[in-house]
Amino acid sequence: MADQVPFGTETGRGHREEIDKIRQEQLERIQGQLKTLAHRMVKIRRSHRKGLYADKDFRDEKKAITEKAQQLQEQAQRLKDERDSAEQV
């Protein structure tokens, strides 16, 4: 026990591990949101094919989903870049 470093002191290892854990949870959450968006896109495509979705509504919804997915992918990339830069230190 005497050789253990208290959380967040000297080496800062505990702090880095906590940050890595939080980043990983955020990445998993983003991946889940992307899967949900993909599923939603499939559902509206099917509805559009069946004639249940008007062309304009379909285009608007598709555009909104695409923009949200792009934002999530950019956010995930930033988290990955932060993680990679933290590992190099």
pLDDT at 46: 94
**pTM (2 d.p.):** 0.72
pLDDT at 43: 94
pLDDT at 12: 56
Per-residue pLDDT 10s for the chain (89 aa) are 445 545 555 555 567 788 888 888 999 999 999 999 999 999 999 999 999 888 999 999 999 999 999 999 999 999 888 888 877 76
pLDDT at 1: 42
Question: What's the rounded Cα separation, in Å, for the pair 52 and 46?
Answer: 9
